[in-house]
Chain A
Amino acid sequence: MSRKYVMEFERPLIELEEQLVALRRIDLSDNPDLMIEVSALASEIDRLRIETYGHLTPWERVQVARHPDRPKVQDYLAAIFSDVIELHGDRLYGDDAAIVAALATLDGRRMVVLGHRKGSNTKENIKRNFGSPHPEGFRKAMRAMRLADKFGLPIVSFMDTKGAHPGIDAEERGQAWAIAESLALLSELHVPIVTVGIGEGGSGGALAIGMGDRLIMLENSYYSVISPEACASILYKDSARAADVAEPLKMTAGDLLDLGVSDETIPEPLGGAHQDPEAVFSAVSERISSAVGSLVVIDDDELVERRYKRHRAIGVFEEGA
Chain B
Amino acid sequence: MPIADWFKARDERRYTSIGGGSAQTDVPEGVWSKCDACKRTIYEGELVAANRVCPHCGHHFPLTAMQRIDLMADEGTFVEFDAGLTSVDPLQFCAVKPYADSLDAAQDKTGLNEAIITGRATIGGHDVVIAAMDFRFIGASMGSAVGEKVTRTLEAARAEKRAAVIVTASGGARMQEGILSLMQMAKTSSAVARLGSAGLPYISVLTDPTMGGVTASFAVLADVVFAEPAARIGFAGPLIIEQTIRQKLPRGFQSAESMLQHGMLDGVVPRDELASRVSLVLDYLALASQSGDAS
Which residues of A does B touch, CB under 8 Å? 164-168, 170-177, 179-181, 183-188, 203-204, 207-208, 211, 223-226, 230-232, 234-236, 244-245, 248-251, 255-256, 259, 261, 307-308, 311-312, 314-321
Residues from chain B with a CB closer than 8 A to the CB of A166 are 235-237, 240-241, 244-245
Complex contact A187–B182 (CB within 8 A): no
- Measured in the bound complex, the distance between the Cα atoms of B190 and A307 in whole Å is 9
Residues from chain B with a CB closer than 8 A to the CB of A223 are 179, 182
Question: Which label, helix, strand, loop or mixed, suits the secondary structure of the A interface?
Answer: helix
**Interface range, B side:** 35 or more
Query: Chain A interface: which of B52-60, B63-71, B83-91, B126-134?
Result: B83-91
Residues from chain B with a CB closer than 8 A to the CB of A204 are 173, 182, 185, 212-213, 216, 235
Residues from chain A with a CB closer than 8 A to the CB of B236 are 164, 166-167, 170-171, 175
- Measured in the bound complex, the distance between the Cα atoms of B11 and A168 in whole Å is 43
Asked if B218 lies at the interface with its beta carbon under 8 angstroms from chain A, I say yes
Complex contact A168–B250 (CB within 8 A): yes
Task: Knowing A204-B213, A315-B183, say if A180 contacts B189 (CB, 8 Å).
Answer: yes
8 Å CB contact of A181 from B3, B94, B221, B235: B221
Task: Knowing A167-B245, A234-B175, A312-B187, say if A176 contacts B234 (CB, 8 Å).
Answer: yes
Query: Chain A interface: which of B143-151, B275-283, B285-293?
Result: B143-151
Residues from chain B with a CB closer than 8 A to the CB of A225 are 173-175, 177-179, 181-182, 213
Complex contact B83–A320 (CB within 8 A): yes
7 contacts across the A-B interface (CB closer than 8 A):
A167-B236, A172-B262, A225-B174, A225-B181, A311-B187, A318-B7, A320-B10
Complex contact B87–A317 (CB within 8 A): yes
- Measured in the bound complex, the distance between the Cα atoms of B248 and A252 in whole Å is 35
- Measured in the bound complex, the distance between the Cα atoms of B237 and A315 in whole Å is 25
Residues from chain A with a CB closer than 8 A to the CB of B253 are 168, 171
Asked if B295 lies at the interface with its beta carbon under 8 angstroms from chain A, I say no
Task: Knowing A171-B241, A204-B235, A318-B7, say if A231 contacts B86 (CB, 8 Å).
Answer: no
Complex contact A317–B235 (CB within 8 A): no
Question: Which positions 137-187 of chain B face chain A at CB distance < 8 Å?
Answer: 143-145, 147-148, 151, 173-175, 177-187
Which residues of B does A touch, CB under 8 Å? 3, 7-8, 10-12, 83-88, 90-91, 93-96, 113, 143-145, 147-148, 151, 173-175, 177-187, 189-194, 196-197, 212-213, 215-221, 233-237, 240-241, 244-245, 249-250, 253-254, 258, 262-264
- Measured in the bound complex, the distance between the Cα atoms of B180 and A311 in whole Å is 10
Complex contact B7–A308 (CB within 8 A): no
Complex contact A320–B181 (CB within 8 A): no
Residues from chain B with a CB closer than 8 A to the CB of A181 are 221
Query: In angstroms, how far is the closest chain B Cβ from the Cβ of A244?
Result: 6
Complex contact A317–B86 (CB within 8 A): yes
8 Å CB contact of A176 from B145, B179, B193, B220: B220
Complex contact B186–A211 (CB within 8 A): yes
Query: In angstroms, how far is the closest chain A Cβ from the Cβ of B142?
Result: 10
Complex contact B235–A171 (CB within 8 A): yes
8 Å CB contact of A226 from B175, B233, B249: B175
Complex contact A320–B250 (CB within 8 A): no
Residues from chain A with a CB closer than 8 A to the CB of B147 are 315
